[in-house]
Structures are given as C-alpha cells and as structure tokens.
C-alpha cells in the first residue's frame, strides 16, 4: 500500500462530496457521453476520461481507494513497467488496484476508463494483449510468472478533473497506458506500450491469432520499398536496445537512419502507415495532436532506422522512427513461450522531450 500524503488525503475527502451525485448516475453520464463519441473523430476525449475516472473512484471502498489513489506528484506516477512484477512468493509488486480485486461493476468501470483513453482499435488490441495471459499460462512449462488476465492494475494520480493536473494509468504485463490531464484536457498520453507474446499463436485453440501484426508487416513493406542505397542508409549494424522503463524521459537516440527527405512519395506514405499503427491506438483528438508532432518533424530530423539479423532463426528485427516530437520503438527479438524464435513484439510510443508532461 502506498503511504498517504496530504494531496492523497485531500483527494479522498473530495470523493465524499462526489458520492452524493450517485455512482449509477455518474456512470450513466459517462456512458451517454461515450456513446456519442466517435473514436475516429477529434471530439475531446478528456471529459470522458474524467467522468470514467470519477465513476470508477466512487465505486471503490476505502481499502480499495488506498490502493488505487495516489498523489499527482507521487514518484510512482513515472515508475511504469510492461514486464511482470512479482515477488519470490508470486505476489504482485506492481502498484495500483488490480482487476482481480474488483467486483464485476468495478471491473466494468475500470475497462470503461481504458476505453476512454483508446480508440476502438486501441481498446481491442489492449484487450487481446490481456487475453494472451491465458495463452501464456497454458504454454509455459516453468510457471515462474503468474499469468492472469485479471492482473492488470488501475492507478489514479490526483483528483480527476483537477485543473492543476491529474493522471491515470492502466498497466500490466505487456501493456501500459499513461495519461496526464489538466482539468478535462489531455496533455500527454505517453509512454504507451503494447506488446504481444506470442505475436502469432502457433498451436492450440487460437492457432493463427496475430496480435499487433501491422507493426511488423507495414515496416517490412517500407523496408522492401527501399533501394539498396536507401537500405544502406536505413540499416544499422546491431539490434536496438530494449524499451527503457520506469523513466519519465526516453534515453537520447542515436542520430542514424534514413531521413524523411530521402524518401520518395510512396515511401513516405508507407512510413505514415507504420506510424499510424502506434498513433491509431489513441482517441481521435489525442491522435490528431500526436500526428501534428509527426508532421512538424517532416524534415531531416525525422528518421527511420532498422536492424535485422538475417542469418538467425526467425530473423530478429528492431526498428525506430524518431522525430522532434515523437519516438516509436519496435523489437521482435525474443522467442515466444513455445520457443519459436522472434515471435514476441515490444512496441512503444514516447515523447522525446519527456513523457508525463503537463504541457500540451
């Protein structure tokens, strides 16, 4: 349990006032708002997040609130992870309130918060990633890690709707969404990490099911479109480093890869398709804001780089797309739970100037 600080106490006392509105009424308001929203539109998504977060918090008892609610300035807000977190006795060490400790109504509200912070495709991908925990539990022989689709955790930082800043996180194995708002305005939606293991299920009842396939196939299409000289510019010698976790700012990236200005029009469109795999997980208005950072980088600062080990089984591959206002990272290096080489994706969208920012 996280120790309560003054901000957390004030936030919790505020919920007693909100409780008078009524849990069912608050959730009904959110449902009405969301039913009118088009995930592909630029309708502001912040009000829906605020309503969803308030409804979720109102549903919790005091013990659950002590676990789920933290101060906006808590160091925990930037301690994000997408790997399993558990102790030697297989108890979770990730902070926040996990789905397993919620009743059905609370779980529905937690998923409503997740839905408010994603596009339709993003939500479907997140739920599919969560469902892969059941697949891993069936496939893994050692049982070293707990694989449970209810081991996803919700954290609320500060009081939803606070004009000075508040945020929320939905996180578990292979998935972390981190959103920062001022009042009802989304000012940051990074780091955003979606992963898949297995990337393609090779056996069992769900054989053939692919998770996040476009992140690889669209990058492969871009690489195939490059001339040999262009591939020489884009290709780097060694596989790229793993996505850096638990930090508010991604490490500086090497100045390498083929520049935007060296691509022809067709190749630029292919690169846009790669980037949409990442930005398209976000609500329409948040994607539009992120896409403006992409277009602002369409000069020599925007680079695409990849590394691939063609002689190794599975052809492990990594790539990076970086610009002044965004960073995309992809790794397919690890084997899946059955030992199939390079069948395990890590994909991340970050902001080079710093994630969790309070400046739009």
228 and 332, same domain (yes or no): yes
**pTM, full prediction:** 0.90
175 and 38, same domain (yes or no): yes
Within-domain flag for 202: no
Q: How far apart are CA 161 and CA 49, in angstroms?
A: 9
Within-domain flag for 89: yes
Tokens of 103: 């009743």
184 and 266, same domain (yes or no): no
Within-domain flag for 359: no
154 and 238, same domain (yes or no): no
184 and 218, same domain (yes or no): no
> Pairing mode, if any, of strands 69-70 and 152-157?
parallel
Q: How far apart are CA 118 and CA 108, in angstroms?
A: 15
236 and 315, same domain (yes or no): yes
Partners of 303 in the β-ladder = 259, 322
Q: How far apart are CA 89 and CA 53, in angstroms?
A: 32
Domain carrying residue 275: 213-350
- Tens place of pLDDT per residue across the chain (360 aa): 333 334 444 444 444 444 444 455 455 554 554 444 444 568 999 999 999 999 999 999 999 999 999 999 999 999 999 999 999 999 999 999 999 999 999 999 999 999 999 999 999 999 999 999 999 999 999 999 999 999 999 999 999 999 999 999 999 999 999 999 999 999 999 999 999 999 999 999 999 999 999 999 999 999 999 999 999 999 999 999 999 999 999 999 999 999 999 999 999 999 999 999 999 999 999 999 999 999 999 999 999 999 999 999 999 999 999 999 999 999 999 999 999 999 999 999 999 999 998 887
41 and 160, same domain (yes or no): yes
How many separate domains does the chain show? 2
Tokens of 298: 């369409």
Residue-by-residue DSSP string for 50-105:
HHHHHHHHHT--HHHHHHHEE-TT-GGGG----S--B-TTS-B---SEEGGGS-HH
Partners of 70 in the β-ladder = 157
Within-domain flag for 262: yes
Within-domain flag for 203: no
175 and 301, same domain (yes or no): no
Within-domain flag for 198: no
96 and 237, same domain (yes or no): no
Q: How far apart are CA 306 and CA 96, in angstroms?
A: 36
Check residue 31 and give its pLDDT. 53
91 and 236, same domain (yes or no): no
124 and 236, same domain (yes or no): no
* Residue 159 DSSP SS3: coil
Check residue 123 and give its pLDDT. 98
44 and 141, same domain (yes or no): yes
Check residue 359 and give its pLDDT. 83
Residue 51 and residue 80 in contact, taking contact as beta carbons nearer than 8 Å: no
The overall longest dimension of the chain from CA atoms, in Å, is 67
- Polymer length of the chain: 360
Within-domain flag for 193: no
Tokens of 320: 């990076």
């Amino acid at each position: 349990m996280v120790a309560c600080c003054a901000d957390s106490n004030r936030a919790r006392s505020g919920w007693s006032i909100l409780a008078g509105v009524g849990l069912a009424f608050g959730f009904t308001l959110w449902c009405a708002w969301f039913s009118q929203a088009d995930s592909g539109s630029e309708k502001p998504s912040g009000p829906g997040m605020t309503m969803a977060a308030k409804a979720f918090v109102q549903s919790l008892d005091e013990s659950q609130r002590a676990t789920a609610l933290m101060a906006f300035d808590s160091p925990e807000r930037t301690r994000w992870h997408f790997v399993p977190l558990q102790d030697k006795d297989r108890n979770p060490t990730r902070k926040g309130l996990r789905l397993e400790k919620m009743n059905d109504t609370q779980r529905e509200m937690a998923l409503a918060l997740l839905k408010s912070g994603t596009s339709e495709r993003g939500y479907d991908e997140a739920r599919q990633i969560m469902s892969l925990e059941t697949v891993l539990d069936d496939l893994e022989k050692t049982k070293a890690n707990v694989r449970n689709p209810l081991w996803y955790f919700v954290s609320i930082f500060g009081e939803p709707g606070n004009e000075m800043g508040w945020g929320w996180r939905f996180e578990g194995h292979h998935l972390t969404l981190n959103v920062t708002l001022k009042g009802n305005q989304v000012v940051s939606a990074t780091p955003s990490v979606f992963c898949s293991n297995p990337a393609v299920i090779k056996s069992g009842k769900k054989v053939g099911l692919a998770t996040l396939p476009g992140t690889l196939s669209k990058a492969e299409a871009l690489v195939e479109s490059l001339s040999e000289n262009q591939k020489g510019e884009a290709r780097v010698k060694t596989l790229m480093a793993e996505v850096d976790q638990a930090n508010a700012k991604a490490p500086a990236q090497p100045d390498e890869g083929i520049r935007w200005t060296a691509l022809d029009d067709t190749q630029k469109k292919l690169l846009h398709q790669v980037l949409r795999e990442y930005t398209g997980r976000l609500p329409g208005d948040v994607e539009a804001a992120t896409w403006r950072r992409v277009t602002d980088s369409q000069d020599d600062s925007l680079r695409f780089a990849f590394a691939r080990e063609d002689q190794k089984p599975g052809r492990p591959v990594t790539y990076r797309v970086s610009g002044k206002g965004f960073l995309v990272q992809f790794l397919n290096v690890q084997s899946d739970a059955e030992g199939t080489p390079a069948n395990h994706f890590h994909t991340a969208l970050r902001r080079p100037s710093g994630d969790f920012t309070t400046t739009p």
